[in-house]
Every structure is written in C-alpha cells, then in structure tokens.
Amino acid sequence: MTEPAISVTGVDRVFGKGRKQVVALTDVDLTVADGEFVALIGPSGCGKSTLLRLVADLDTATSGEIKVFGKGARQARLDQDYGIAFQQAGLLPWRTVAGNIELPLKIHGAAPALRKARVAELLELVGLTDFAKNHPDQLSGGMQQRVAIARALAESPRLLLMDEPFGALDEITRERMQNELVRICAETGAAVLFVTHSIPEAVFLSDRVVVMSPRPGRITGIVDVRADGLADHHDRTERARDQEGFFRAVAEVRALLHGGASTSSAGVEPAGVGVEER
C-alpha cells in the first residue's frame, strides 16, 4: 500500500468571522504513512485537536486538502476508514462493556455471530474479558479508556485517531496504557495520529513527533524519533524509556516547543527526565 494514511496539504481553519476571527490552523502540511505512529504535541490552543478533528471529518477545513487513504476526509468517514478515541472514554453508560465495543459493528449491520467473535477478540486484546458484562460505571478510568480503545479498533481500521486518550489518567495508569497501546499497534499494524500534551508520551509512542505552536496554530517542527537511535519501528519496550536516545528525543521536542533551535547535538538532560511539560 503506497497510499499514505493521512495526507494534509495547505490546510487552514478559521473560526468565526470578521473581527472575532480566530485562526486555529494555518498552512498545515502533514503526511502520515501507512502503519506510522505520529504524535501531535503543543501547548493548548495550538490547533492539534482541531487538526485531528479535521482528519476525522468532525470539522471542515476552511481551505486546503485532507486525504485519508487517498480519499476525501468525508468519504473516509462514511467508509469507516478510521477508528477514533477521545480524552473522555465516551462510553454509553446504559450498555455493557461488550455492548459498547460492539456498538460500531452493530451500527454498520455486522452479523450477530461475527460481532460476538470480534468483541471476544477485542476484550482479549485489551485484557477485559472478565468485565464483558459490567457496565462502564463499574470500571476505573483506565479500564473505561481501554474499552474505548477496543471500540475504536472494532472494525480493524488501518488508521486510529486518538485525541489525548490518556489525558485524564494518573501517571501510573498512563504508562501502563502506553505500553499496551504500543503492543496493540504492533499487533494491528494501524497508523495512528495521536494528540498529546506530554513530551515523554509523544516520544515513547511515536515514530515521529509533530510539534505545533499556537496563535496561529501551525507546525513548527517534526522530530523523527526513529532517527534518534531509539528502538526500532513499533518495537518499543519498557526499556526504551531509559535509553539515551529517548532523552535526546525528549530534549529535542522540548527545544522545539520552547521555540529554540534543534538541540540534537546537546547532551542528555537527566534532570528533566519524566517531567511532563504541559
């Protein structure tokens, strides 16, 4: 498959009219290859969520072109080419865990037997088999988010859009979820566009980290984590968090976020390790 998962060319998004006009995104170009994990990072208001919503066709670009697997964003949505997860798990509280995961399949008219098999598979994947019959209000935040990820994966999309899916979780749960996401991505081979506030999260998960800045929202730089000597493509282990390349990539992303030049040649900064910059 040579078609990129996402291809964004010259996209602008302007909210409002006249003097109250807010430029959320200006002249954004971004390509996400098939099977690639790309994180969008930047301070609040830099338009990273807006960009994700444009790709998901939950919002429409003012100008520019967005293609998902070579199709227009709208067509890609109608064809269900992507799975999506938000910061809030957004589960339907009146449905069981299994019922929530099943929802997209049910809406798109999959046969009951097929649905059942797929749900069992996904429950296994996110390690919630024992909770199939529970309702969301009986689960912890981390478990709810795993249900949401399973739901996003229900139709085996080749693209996952994730808008700060771990943003509301505590640090410990968060790291565990990151490890699981890495495993899930390795198993499914899906491309991921991942919005986050956390530098270590972005570096740990991604092949490339896209750094954005606000007013107007734009891409200020891209850090290719693979080039920084981290573990191989989608083969991250827990160890990766302690490797030198990891710290170097974190430092580079941080430098870009603070508007400085790339500091890839600079030494490792152990003092900053694990500190999340929000």
Partner 1 sequence: MAAVDTTVTRDTRARFPITEVRWSTVVAPLVLGALFLLSWELVVDRAEIEPFILPAPSAIWEQVTANTGNIVDGATVTGRNALIGMLAGAVLGVVGAAVAGSFRFVDQMAAPVVAALAVIPIVALAPVLYSMFGAAVNTGRIIVAGVSVAVPVYLNTLRGIRQVKAVHRELMTAYAAGPLQRIRSVTLPTATPYVFTGLRVASSLAVIAALIAEYFGGPIGGLGKSITSSAASSNYPLAWAYVFGSIVLGLLFYVVTLLVELWFSRHHQPA
Tokens of 278: 């929000």
Q: Which stretch binds partner 1 (CB under 8 A): 31-39, 42-50, 92-100, 253-261?
A: 92-100
Q: In angstroms, give the least distance from the CB of 138 to partner 1.
A: 5
Query: Distance between alpha carbon 166 and the CA centroid of its chain, in Å?
Result: 10
- For residues 143 and 146, give the distance between their C-alpha atoms in angstroms, rounded to a whole number: 5
- For residues 38 and 194, give the distance between their C-alpha atoms in angstroms, rounded to a whole number: 6
Report the residue from 37, 86, 166, 247 that binds partner 1 according to the rule CB under 8 A: 86
Report the residue from 31, 71, 77, 132 that binds partner 1 according to the rule CB under 8 A: 77
Cα atoms in the Cβ-side hemisphere of radius 13 Å centred on 255: 18
Residue closer to partner 1 by CB (options 74, 258) is 74
Should residue 51 be labelled a site residue for partner 1 when binding is judged by CB under 8 A? no
Q: In angstroms, give the least distance from the CB of 192 to partner 1.
A: 15
Residue 51 burial by Cβ neighbours in a 10 Å radius (0-12, 13-18, 19+): buried
Q: Which stretch binds partner 1 (CB under 8 A): 37-45, 128-136, 192-200, 201-209?
A: 128-136
- DSSP string computed for 163-223: ESTTTTS-HHHHHHHHHHHHHHHHHH--EEEEEES-HHHHHHH-SEEEEEETTTTEEEEEE
Should residue 116 be labelled a site residue for partner 1 when binding is judged by CB under 8 A? no
Should residue 135 be labelled a site residue for partner 1 when binding is judged by CB under 8 A? yes
Binding residues for partner 1, per CB under 8 A? 56-58, 77-78, 80, 82, 84, 86, 88, 90, 92-95, 103-104, 106-108, 127, 131, 134-140, 142-143, 173, 176, 179-180, 238
